Amino acid sequence: MPRVLLLGGTSEASALARLLAEAQVPAIYSYAGRTAAPLAQPLPLRIGGFGGPEGLERYLRDKAISHLIDATHPFAARISRNATQAARRAGVPLLALQRPEWQPGPGDDWTGVADIDGAVAMLPPTPSRIFLAIGKQSLASFAGLPHRWLLRLIDAPGEPPLPQADVVIARGPFTEAGDRALMAAHGITHLVAKNSGGSGAAAKLAAARALGIRVIMIDRPWVPERMTVTEPQVALDWLRDSTPAGSG
Ligand code: 3Y8
Ligand code: NAP
């Protein structure tokens, strides 16, 4: 019988957690502990870092984990690098479950940038109204600019993260109608987004297209090559195929 460690924090990880629970596969769902009250899961939870790649390797050995599935977000690059190293050193098979990148379509007005600093450099010189839909970890990079900000966060910040900012506390997945109303109400001129892919954050892109708003799209950070699938069911199939027969 396999024993799976599922590195979660995305819609795909939640979908796979449901499949694993339904199939009664022994699995542990792991959150970093970024948010005050993460979504409940149908699997036993562990919350918090492992203590770097060495800590994760130790966890794999101590808990006799037979398979590691990295279903973390494409921008969670550090945990993915750690998972690659820890799995290799512990001799545990690793699979990444990750959604494909978004591609611009007809009517989209996207400008691609390499990272957060590239997004800052791409903002207009004149005061504008910018929707930063990138969470809270990168907001400091936008300090000192003459714009008015719309920020969407999961947990209320202790103090205002930026001057001239309106803060919306909301947890995705979001809807096009909701994001369109939000962006129109704030007179948004530019949207900054991460190329997360998936459906949970795509609504704002459709809303920007409908409103003719320019999108500054941040490319994904580099992560090491590893076996990757895009569908939770395919991850379950991999698990079954890579579990020796007769091992329960
Ligand atoms: C803690 C678990 C599920 C998971 C849902 C997906 C969809 C909603 C869209 C916008 C974009 C953003 C942000 C976002 C989305 C899903 C998914 C996704 C983007 C939760 C979650 C955790 C986090 C961490 C959080 C980050 C932040 C990023 C907000 C739970 C809800 C902007 C990424 O306050 C903070 O410190 C938040 C930090 C990392 C990015 C950042 O740098 O600030 N996600 N998001 C996970 C953990 O502790 O391990 O709390 O329930 C998960 C989800 N967030 O099961 O349905 O799958 O992508 N999350 C981005 O994509 O740009 C919001 O507002 O339009
Ligand atoms: P990160 O920068 O790649 O990781 C930083 C450190 O956080 C890791 O080294 C690890 O600590 C810990 N960590 C990250 N994910 C973990 C997990 N699932 N379980 C246990 N520890 C974890 O990660 P991040 O960008 O801060 O993202 C944190 C979490 O939020 C991830 O679960 C990710 O899936 C989710 N998320 C992130 C984004 C985003 O935009 N970054 C969007 C949606 C969801 P140690 O080194 O101590 O092990």
Grade residue 41 by pLDDT with cuts at 50, 70 and 90: very high
Residues of the chain with CATH 3.40.50.720: 4-100+222-241, 110-218
66 has a pLDDT exceeding 80: yes
**Position 243 confidence tier, pLDDT thresholds 50, 70, 90:** confident
Instruction: Ligand 1, residue 200: give the atom nearest the CA.
Output: 7
pLDDT given at position 175: 95
Answer whether residue 244 shows pLDDT above 80.
no
Across the range 157-163, mean pLDDT stands at 92
Nearest-atom number in ligand 1 for the CA of 14 is 55
Closest Cα to atom 46 of ligand 1 = 9
Side by side, the strands of the sheet bearing 148-153 are 110-113, 214-218, 190-194, 129-132, 148-153, 165-169
Tell me the C-alpha distance between 215 and 194, whole Å. 10
H helices of 63-157, where?
A: 77-90, 116-122
Which CATH class, in words, describes the domain spanning 110-218?
A: alpha beta
Q: How confident is the model at residue 1 (pLDDT cuts 50, 70, 90)?
A: confident
Show the tokens assigned to 179: 């994001």
Quick check: pTM over 0.95?
A: yes
CATH class of 4-100+222-241: alpha beta
Q: What are the residues facing 28 on neighbouring strands?
A: 5
Is the beta carbon of 98 within 6 A of some atom in ligand 2? Answer: no
Average pLDDT over all residues of the chain: 96
Cis link prior to 173 (omega < 30° from 0)?
yes
Ligand 1 contacts CB of residue 39 (under 6 A)? yes
Length of the chain: 248
